[in-house]
Chains A and B, each alone.
Chain A
Amino acid sequence: MSTPDKVIINRLPTGVPGLDEILGGGLPEFSFNIIAGAPGSGKTTLAHQIVFANATPERPALYFTILGEPAIKMLRYQQQYTFFDPAKLPSSVRFINLSQVVLEKDLGAVLEEITKEVEKASPGIVVVDSFRTVVRKALGGSTEVELQSFIQRLALLLTSWQATTFLVGEYVEGEIRDNPVFTVSDGLLWLYQASERNSIVRKLQIVKLRGQLSVPGLHTFRITNAGLQAFSRTLGLGGQVRNIPSTRRLSIGIAELDKMLGGGIPEGDSVLVAGASGTGKSVLATQFIAEGVRRGDPGIVVVFEERPQEYAERASSFGLDLKTPQQEGKLEILYLRPLDLSVDETMHEILEAVQKIGAKRLVIDSLAGFEMALAPGFRADFRESLYRMITALTGVGVTILSTVEVNESFVEFPFSTYSISFLTDDIIRLRYVCIEGQLRKIMVVIKMRGGNHSKDIREYEITSEGVVIIGDRLADYQALITGIPQHLNRPGPKEEPARKQKSKNKA
């Protein structure tokens, strides 16, 4: 005899972009859930989104309102959201006010009223908003056992009638331990809202969810005129299959630098280009993306410090055409500047763009600009989120080049002010050196996780062709990385480094 199949729990859509993924696929059907949070955290809006996403004339949604926001006002405000479909009222979505029953009668009468409506409508979704009011009222005149019994009977009724239930309430975290409703519930969605300096940070957590695996931790969400939008900590990439590591090397668009990199950047690597202001990090990044487009690799450039048009115009001054591939949908320049973005939201925008055009190359110019574009409260999460995004994207074969500005120092040789070099496979360091009374530029490949690379320190210039490496390695100097090198053969400062060979810089 074969083993009977285990029960399959259907999952209902929440109607909230990103939330189904956080929940592990959606809301478990017939579950008894709590939506908790402080006033203004978005509980009622979330409940409405769930209602409108699921209600049908055959399995309508019953929305019981109790003493909280007056129903008329709730309807007035909620219909401003785009998910609110008046055509669903009242055949699919019905609002029932229980305030008077709660005020004038006992828990038994409340249960009786809910039972009457549920048996009449056979709803697929039931919302009680605010359930906290019911509990408060009950605690005034009932024992804890009576309250527990009421909640138990309510859960039994609604589950037996095949309704997925949401009790909305303004709870505080300390109540989880003592409140019986948390024990009975199958799911607990907690919405948080905190102000950090001048920004508001909204986060949600699936504190409890019986029967399926949700994504743990706090997830950012935003409320727009479309309602809530959630941004999973996994950035929606949790289930993605990692590509088999590629052996392809990507040209950076500078032949000599490709050689220094051992033949180019290994596909799927994360490259950090670090240097002081004016050392040509952005130019090098532009050459990388333009070379990709030229070779058929769609690309995304994320800029924070200049607008896409300016970026494209600056590229054209180096002979790099970014406008045509933009028009052809092979290149997208994203300008992300709002100062109240969450890091996950920003990552989400980048990922969407990457997926939309099937990008193979991604430039983030720069990490400092990226961090500044975030709301202050999210900056603490920056490194962690960046790590998650880079790991996820490089795992599916996207090659990422990020620029980072470092303060030029003549006593140390930092790679990044962010201590993020651990999340990069390769590091190219650009820096100024003082030679022969001139401030020149040198570059060196610091690290390549994928294998050997040149140890040479090479001088370069920024010309009308972009970054151009000149000459061989600067063999006649020592202490180049200090920025104040010494000529090995003579103490005097007269001799120039080798500048004989204008390298073939075109790839």
Chain B
Amino acid sequence: MSLLASRHLARSLLTYETAAGKNSEPTESAPSRVFEKLRRPLCALAGVAGFRSLLSRALTLARAEAPSLSAVEIAADGSLQGLDELGPQIDKDKDRGQVNTNEAGAILIANLIGLLLTFIGEAVTLRMLQEVWPKAVFDGPDYGKDRKLEHTR
């Protein structure tokens, strides 16, 4: 699965959470809620230490695109600190020009999902996401092929 696909997945999750947030008064941003929902199953699977290692790598990769993420830190329990406090700043990115920090969360989530896709593959990753967001529909340019394979096993 491509980098594009992991970004598409991240955006799908954010869109879903944003829509869900309109029905209530969330105290956290959509990226924080997506992230928190991902943290629980991943900590159960990999342990807190395992999850923190993955997240640390994802954060490093994401910072290259969104330097404002330098202000974000990983707590001992694997939760993120400082994501909601980034504010409406503008990141200068040498390849992509200006990146709104509102996108920083999406970039971080995309990198985390990208690592999962690399390590455990699309089928297992999508299963895990579906478990967390049972009503979400994950469709994208690269998903169909692997899903078909999965169904024909």
A-to-B contact residues, CB < 8 Å: 65, 70-73, 75-76, 79, 85-87, 89-91, 94-100
B-to-A contact residues, CB < 8 Å: 41, 43-50, 54, 119-121, 123-124, 127-128, 131, 150-151, 153
Which residues on A sit within 8 Å (CB–CB) of B120? Answer: 72, 75-76, 79
Find A86's partner among B46, B49, B121, B131 (CB 8 Å cutoff): B121
Question: Can you name 21 A-B residue pairings with CB atoms under 8 Å?
Answer: A70-B50, A71-B47, A72-B46, A75-B119, A76-B120, A79-B121, A85-B153, A86-B127, A87-B123, A87-B150, A87-B151, A87-B153, A90-B127, A95-B44, A95-B45, A97-B46, A97-B47, A98-B47, A100-B47, A100-B48, A100-B49
Bound complex: CA A71 to CA B41 (Å): 12
Which of A85, A86, A100 has the largest number of chain B CB atoms within 10 A?
A86
Which residues on B sit within 8 Å (CB–CB) of A72? Answer: 45-46, 50, 54, 119-120
Give the number of residue pairs across the A-B interface with Cβ within 8 Å: 62
Which residues on A sit within 8 Å (CB–CB) of B128? Answer: 89-90
Nearest CB in chain B to that of A87: its residue:
B150
Which residues on A sit within 8 Å (CB–CB) of B119? Answer: 72-73, 75-76
Bound complex: CA A90 to CA B43 (Å): 14
B119 to chain A, nearest CB (A): 5
Bound complex: CA A451 to CA B111 (Å): 80
Find B124's partner among A70, A86, A99, A100 (CB 8 Å cutoff): A86
In contact, A97 and B124 (Cβ under 8 angstroms): no
Find B45's partner among A71, A79, A91, A100 (CB 8 Å cutoff): A71
Which residues on B sit within 8 Å (CB–CB) of A97? Answer: 43-47, 50
Which residues on B sit within 8 Å (CB–CB) of A76? Answer: 119-121
B28 to chain A, nearest CB (A): 25
Nearest CB in chain A to that of B121: its residue:
A79
In contact, A87 and B127 (Cβ under 8 angstroms): yes
Which residues on B sit within 8 Å (CB–CB) of A71? Answer: 45-47, 50
- Sample of 12 more A-B contacts, CB < 8 Å, known A71-B46, A87-B153, A97-B47: A72-B54, A72-B120, A73-B119, A76-B121, A79-B124, A87-B123, A87-B127, A87-B151, A97-B44, A97-B45, A99-B50, A100-B47
Nearest CB in chain B to that of A70: its residue:
B50
Bound complex: CA A86 to CA B117 (Å): 13
Bound complex: CA A198 to CA B50 (Å): 37
In contact, A75 and B49 (Cβ under 8 angstroms): no
Bound complex: CA A86 to CA B131 (Å): 13
Which residues on B sit within 8 Å (CB–CB) of A100? Answer: 47-49
A53 to chain B, nearest CB (A): 14
B111 to chain A, nearest CB (A): 15
Nearest CB in chain A to that of B149: its residue:
A86
In contact, A96 and B150 (Cβ under 8 angstroms): no
Find A96's partner among B44, B123, B131 (CB 8 Å cutoff): B44
